[in-house]
Structure 1
Amino acid sequence: MTTKTLFGYGPGPNIPVASAAALLRDAVRADEGGLDLISVTDHPYEADRLEAYAALGVLLGHTSRITAVATVTNLAVRPAPLLARTLTSLSALSGGRIVLGIGAGWRWDDITRFGAQALTPGAAVRSLEEGIVLIKSLAGGGEPVTFEGEFHRVTELSPAPVPVPPVWTGSVGPRSLAVTGRVADGWVVPHAADWTSALYRESRPHIDAAATAAGRDPAEVVDVFNVLARITADPLPATRDESGRWLGGSVGQWVEELVVAVREHGANGFVYFDSDDPRSDLTLGRWTHEIVPAVRAALDEP
């Protein structure tokens, strides 16, 4: 991954099994169109949805340049050492085109139905930090790892000879935001909140403070925004609603807004979620071939 602004595509929060062919088609289009990322969600307890890591493996196999990420992996239902091996294998097979998006856990009723142990919010956050530390230690080669944590334990496991993948969290709340600042490489801003939102303004300082306390440069932790908004043929009279939430607009309005997001608010990446129902080939095309190149040109990025 580079320090340039990242642009991606997310096929939506729910990816039905019945939409598998469309997902593959869109991934190839995004790859050929020069996007940096494709993201999928992770809800393995839903029988009618595609499992995230099975989907990521196939998407990477059908593409050649784009990086894949689950936003975010539900750590509560996946053993951290096995998740580490999954990531390093996908990295080796794809030439490093994988990011670990990870969260402490959500929808605990569903998680326990899936057979995993319920955790209190505090325990889930501690498990998240341990999991990230362990997963990173199991990549990059080196000496065997023994890890004796509260939630995760391994004995004499050799790290895979593959670079450590970037780790992005979907943290919400001061404790998990602090974890992001201490041990993660990026933050996928939750609830599709944008760069002007109160959620972003109030949350980011927790990351910065924790990073600084850990001896890290806060700028090492990138901000990636999921943008769930319309792309319209004509300009909208207002691009934000009464609460200030970004609604979208014409190609020109998008370009102006995203350039400001990068230059004035420090945004590092955007993943566009098509808000049309059903999804529109036209809007994905406008994002990929009109908005993204124009923003890159305005930022003087290749």
Structure 2
Amino acid sequence: MPERLTHKLWFGIGPGVAVADAPEVVRSVEYADRAGLDFFALSDHPYYGDRLEAYSTLALLLGRTRNITGVTTVTNLPTRPVPLLARTLSTLSALTGGRIVLGLGAGGYWDDIVRFGATRLDPAAAVRALEEAIGLVRALSGGGGAPVTLDGEFTRIAALDPAPGPAPLIWTGSVGPRSLAVTGRSADGWIPGNAADWHSDRYRSSRPLIDEAARAAGRDPADIATVFNLPARITDSAAVAPRDRSGRWLGGSVAQWITELTGAVLEHGASGFVYFASGDPSGQIGLGRWAEEIVPAVREAVAKG
């Protein structure tokens, strides 16, 4: 069994973020918590008025659940002051017993980000801002240390006390070589963008850059999880073509899902998966199949190796 499998496997859902679907979002996450799933994931696009704001939604959903972890995949860093983001995370962690993961991105929809009032950064600056933010969030956690002062390129603070709780796990949505290197040096996990999966060129070309940067920083690459978004369907019968021409996973029967995800973990180093119930026409039926049939079977198959 690969060394990476000595670490936690994450199985989650993306319940959607449409304002119009708010009651269904709550029901889906409450169900996922009862069913024993590990986390729920919310996107963060505050410039769109028809979408739920990520962190207020996280707070409500974590308050309505008992065991499941919440993560924003990924936090839109340019629209959120880092010291306030750090305080938000430490508060949510304290209130929920640590059920929070920080998903963090450098920013991708820059025209929309600028419309929201943030300053446009060029790609290189955005990556530097990402790395600075990761360091500052960690510095403002853990307690017991000296007050934190930073005269950074993007954030300046003076003598802020660290929060008492530990820093959250940090997953990035890195895409380009420079941000992938930041993930390798500094992050705990990576969420490949644009629905990339374990057979995609994006994953195959990007993951080695993370591993190389991790080793250069004296880290074990196996400590950096890869969590895949799966906007795919769970069908009643076996799909004739479960992948498209590019090789991307489209979905299929429960048995096909179990085979695919078990192979993704054992053969390709996957550490987790997000099933987007909001994008599957089968709705609650698909969510039930995910939580009650697919996830337990994959966990069992992986445990057997």
TM-score by length of 2: 0.95
1:262 corresponds in structure 2 to 265
| 1:280 equivalenced with 2:280 (yes/no) | no
1:87 corresponds in structure 2 to 89
**How far does residue 236 in structure 1 lie from its aligned partner after superposition?**
1.2
Is the CA contact (8 Å cut-off) linking 1:45 and 1:114 kept in structure 2? yes
| 1:184 equivalenced with 2:187 (yes/no) | yes
| 1:209 equivalenced with 2:212 (yes/no) | yes
Distance 1:240 1:46 in 2: 31
Q: How many residues align?
A: 298
Could you say if the C-alpha distance between residues 279 and 157 of structure 1 is closer, same or farther in structure 2, counting changes exceeding 3 Å? farther
> What secondary structure sits across from 1:109 in the alignment?
helix
> What secondary structure sits across from 1:190 in the alignment?
coil
2:118 to 116, 130, 140: 116
> What secondary structure sits across from 1:225 in the alignment?
strand
Aligned-pair identity (%): 63
TM-score by length of 1: 0.96
Deviations 1:82-125 (A, max 9, x none): 00000000000010000000000121111111111111111001
1:6 corresponds in structure 2 to 10
1:56 corresponds in structure 2 to 58
Structure 1: stretches of 5+ with no match in the other structure: none
2:3 corresponds in structure 1 to none
> What secondary structure sits across from 1:100 in the alignment?
strand
2:43 corresponds in structure 1 to 41
Letter matched to residue 84 of structure 1:
A
Distance 1:101 1:284 in 2: 23
Could you say if the C-alpha distance between residues 67 and 231 of structure 1 is closer, same or farther in structure 2, counting changes exceeding 3 Å? same
Distance 2:13 2:251 in 1: 15
Distance 2:279 2:223 in 1: 34
Is the CA contact (8 Å cut-off) linking 1:227 and 1:271 kept in structure 2? yes
1:16 corresponds in structure 2 to 18
**How far does residue 276 in structure 1 lie from its aligned partner after superposition?**
4.2
Is the CA contact (8 Å cut-off) linking 1:181 and 1:211 kept in structure 2? yes
Letter matched to residue 259 of structure 2:
E
Deviations 1:29-82 (A, max 9, x none): 000001001000001011111100000000100000000000000000000000
Query: 1:219-238 to 2 correspondence within 5 Å?
Result: 219-238=222-241
**How far does residue 300 in structure 1 lie from its aligned partner after superposition?**
2.1
> What secondary structure sits across from 1:163 in the alignment?
coil
Letter matched to residue 191 of structure 1:
N
1:157 to 147, 157, 160: 160
**How far does residue 273 in structure 1 lie from its aligned partner after superposition?**
1.0
Could you say if the C-alpha distance between residues 69 and 137 of structure 1 is closer, same or farther in structure 2, counting changes exceeding 3 Å? same
Distance 1:277 1:297 in 2: 25
> What secondary structure sits across from 1:271 in the alignment?
strand
Is the CA contact (8 Å cut-off) linking 2:234 and 2:282 kept in structure 1? no
Deviations 1:120-173 (A, max 9, x none): 111001001001100111001122111121111211111100111000000011
Letter matched to residue 35 of structure 1:
L
Could you say if the C-alpha distance between residues 197 and 204 of structure 1 is closer, same or farther in structure 2, counting changes exceeding 3 Å? same
Is the CA contact (8 Å cut-off) linking 1:229 and 1:275 kept in structure 2? no
**How far does residue 238 in structure 1 lie from its aligned partner after superposition?**
2.5
1:129 corresponds in structure 2 to 131
> What secondary structure sits across from 2:295 in the alignment?
helix
1:271 corresponds in structure 2 to 274
Distance 1:246 1:279 in 2: 17
Could you say if the C-alpha distance between residues 101 and 112 of structure 1 is closer, same or farther in structure 2, counting changes exceeding 3 Å? same
Is the CA contact (8 Å cut-off) linking 1:186 and 1:223 kept in structure 2? yes
Distance 1:210 1:53 in 2: 31
Distance 1:6 1:59 in 2: 18
Distance 1:132 1:56 in 2: 20
Could you say if the C-alpha distance between residues 249 and 136 of structure 1 is closer, same or farther in structure 2, counting changes exceeding 3 Å? same
Distance 1:225 1:148 in 2: 36
Structure 2: stretches of 5+ with no match in the other structure: 1-5
